[in-house]
Structure 1
Amino acid sequence: MNQETPVSDAPGAGRPRRRDVVSTHSVFGAPCWVSLTSRDLGATQDFYTAVLGWRWRGAKLGEHFRIALAGGVPVAGIAAVAAMWQMAVAWTPYFAVPDADVAVSRARERGGTAAVGPLSFPPGRAALLADRDGATFGIWQGELVSNWEAWRRAAPTSIRLHTRNAFDSAIFYGEILDWASGKPGCCEVEYAGGEVVLRSQGDVVARIDSGAVEAAPDPSVRPHWQVHFAVTDVPSCVRAAEKHGGSVLSEQDDEAILRDPDGAQFTVTSRRER
């Protein structure tokens, strides 16, 4: 795997420093960014513009990279490198950490793997990891791409880990990311109805569910992180996805699981359900 591949759209990439930008020391342990690998940059931009209304700006990393904007707020990174670097097409969440080296070391000690990094991407450092069941996630140390609250309100409503054992996974991530550690500002963990709920500053930012099968032939039931985007009209997103080459895996009035034309899976959730 190319050493630059997974973290090429890390949270601080291609952005000048600003004094008011929040650092990962302020929201450590919480999801702080999402990144997508794709095969065709133009088609990816067209699809997500149609489905989610995003606009785009370039990134200093080169012509294969773009930053998605929702209401002017940077919300996601897109890297059209899947075919070039033989990567899987997928959405990947990044978690804020105060020290990337410490987080990577903790993950390895607990049976996780580090695919790449930590690597320096001023104004921070990033790494791509996999947990014990193979679910991929990233970590980011440094200044965030934009104000954390603005990022959360503009697009992602939450992320959800589908895994084999929610409680075992919560322990793994908690020990790496200092969840429920008692440190000022740490994320709080709740156990409710068979799932694990992660809160940061009082808001639900992630959930962990049991039930995924490690060796299932269908990628949608293997352990993985699912990114949920808040939208005002779920049925409109579904129609737009179908019209622009995507597919619908499931649909309800307030939520739908979609696949983009490259196969990356994501969820759209009504803002009323946040």
Structure 2
Amino acid sequence: MSDDGASFAWYELLTTDVDGAGAFYGSVLGWTTKDASTPALSYRLFMSGEFARSGLMELPEEGRRQGATPRWIGYVGVDDVDLAVRRMQERGGAVYVPPTGTNIGRVSIVADPQRATFGLLSGSSIARPVAEGLDSLGRVGWHELLAADWRKAFGFYSEVFGWRQADGGNAPAETYQLFSAGGQTIGGIFNKRPLEPIAFWLYYFNVDDVDAAIVRVKAGGGRVYEGPLELLSGSWIVRCLDPQGATFALEGARSPDGIAKAPAAEYRWTTSWDAFSSKGRWRSGQPGGKGRPPGK
């Protein structure tokens, strides 16, 4: 782990329909799948060209019996998974899967004290630090924690992983805390809305055209539940559910034709969050009038 903090290094989709999910994300993000199974575990890689972007596997039966649903898991790369687990537990974190050797490295599935789930990973030959190519198409470019109490959540991750507060410019620090890991600003932490029943991590995948991606999401049986929302930089975000119910988000440009054809309602912020947009890009209002900033 560097002096600037451990960073996300790998992502994994746990789903109830591996073939269906593979086809869906292949259409939406242009990924292909590659078998990486072992005798003990059925596992696929989502590939973008020659690069492995994330993993894909069946949601374990034991997890389903305990109420787990399809979800994306982000793995924080650490030098020593066992040590990181102990540090987490000392600070109120939970361990769902103890440190285990797998085909992608030594892993553990854990949760912070507010029960937002994520993973720990060490010794991986395929994972790469998130700081490498944050803006590359088809990969995660932003990480957002919707917490029950963002201040306590940030304190936890800061103590365990060395994450630091990042400069938010004119952003209201009381509502959205940017954080840096590995020397680069990679995400934000803020309080979830009442309609979100639990704290969770949301991952934003980069696309070249948000409007085209929305069409692919809907055609594949997914749903856009929020957005498009515009960021100050001119890029746009949408928050989605895949056909199996896993939450994910997209960020990218939007074509002039797509904006022109959008219903008027899209120009009104659809979120109640007084929050800060991603990567330091504060949005103070809506086109043509005053409004509330989006939740990213």
TM-score, normalization: structure 1?
Answer: 0.78
C-alpha distance in structure 2 between counterparts of 1:83 and 1:100, whole Å: 24
Q: Which moved more, 1:243-252 or 1:149-158?
A: 149-158
Q: Indicate the larger mover: 74-83 or 37-46.
A: 74-83
Give the superposition deviation at 1:75.
0.7
Equivalent position of 1:261 in the other structure: 243
Distance in 1, matches of 2:2 and 2:184, equals: 18
> How big is the shift at 1:71?
3.0
TM-superposed CA distance for 1:27, in Å, is: 8.0
Residue of structure 2 aligned with 1:68, choices 18, 26, 46 = 46
Q: Which residue of 114, 117, 121 maps to 2:98?
A: 117
What is the Cα deviation at residue 261 of structure 1?
0.6
Q: How does 1:30-179 map to 2 (within 5 A)?
A: 30-61=7-38, 64-82=42-60, 86=64, 87-121=68-102, 124-148=105-129, 149-150=131-132, 152=134, 153-154=136-137, 155-179=139-163
Deviation string 1:204-225 (CA, Å, 9 cap, x unpaired) is: 2121112344xxxx5x452100
- TM-score in terms of structure 2 length: 0.72
- How far the C-alpha of 1:179 sits from its partner, in A, is 2.4
Alpha-carbon contact 2:10-2:127 (below 8 Å) kept = no
Report the count of equivalent residues: 239
Q: Which amino acid aligns with 2:209?
A: D
Give the Cα separation in 2 of the matches to 1:268 and 1:124. Answer: 28
Q: CA offsets per residue over residues 142-166 of structure 1, 9 Å max, x none?
A: 2351443556435100110001221
Q: Deviations over 1:53-72 (max 9, x none)?
A: 11111113367421001232
Measured at CA, do residues 201 and 125 of structure 1 come closer, stay the same or move farther in structure 2, by a change above 3 Å? closer
SS at match of 1:78: strand
- Give the conservation status (yes or no) of the 8 Å contact 1:97–1:103: yes
| Aligned residue in 1 for 2:207 | 231
- Contiguous gaps of at least 5 residues in structure 1: 1-23, 181-187
State the SS of the aligned residue for 1:235: helix
Corresponding residue number in structure 1 for 2:179: 198
| Bigger Rg, structure 1 or 2 | 2
Higher relative contact order (CA 8 A, sep 6+): 1
SS at match of 1:232: coil
Give yes or no for contact 1:197–1:208 (8 Å, CA) kept in 2.
yes
Distance 1:143 1:160 in 2: 24
Cα offset, 1:121, TM superposition: 2.6
Counterpart of 1:167, as a letter, is R
- CA shift, 1:231, in A, is 0.6
Of stretches 194-203 and 225-234 in structure 1, the one that deviates more from structure 2 is 194-203
Aligned partner of 2:11: which letter? Answer: V
Q: 1:126 to 1:72 in 2, by over 3 A?
A: same
Q: Call closer, same or farther: CA 1:119–1:271 in 2, change over 3 Å.
A: farther
SS of structure 2 residue aligned to 1:252 = strand
Unaligned runs of 5+ in 2: 230-235, 255-277, 280-296
Q: For residues 152 and 115 of structure 2, what CA distance do their matches in structure 1 show?
A: 14
- In the alignment, the residues of structure 2 paired with residue 234 and residue 82 of structure 1 have an alpha-carbon distance, to the nearest angstrom, of 32
Q: Residue 241 in 1 paired to residue 214 in 2? A: no
How many Å separate the matches in 2 of 1:201 and 1:97? 11
Kindly provide the CA deviation profile for residues 92-124 of structure 1, in whole angstroms up to 9, marking residues without a partner as x: 111111111111111111111111111123673
For residue 48 of structure 1, report the CA deviation from its aligned partner. 0.4
Could you tell me how far apart the structure 2 residues matched to 1:76 and 1:112 are?
25
The Cα RMSD (Å) is 2.6
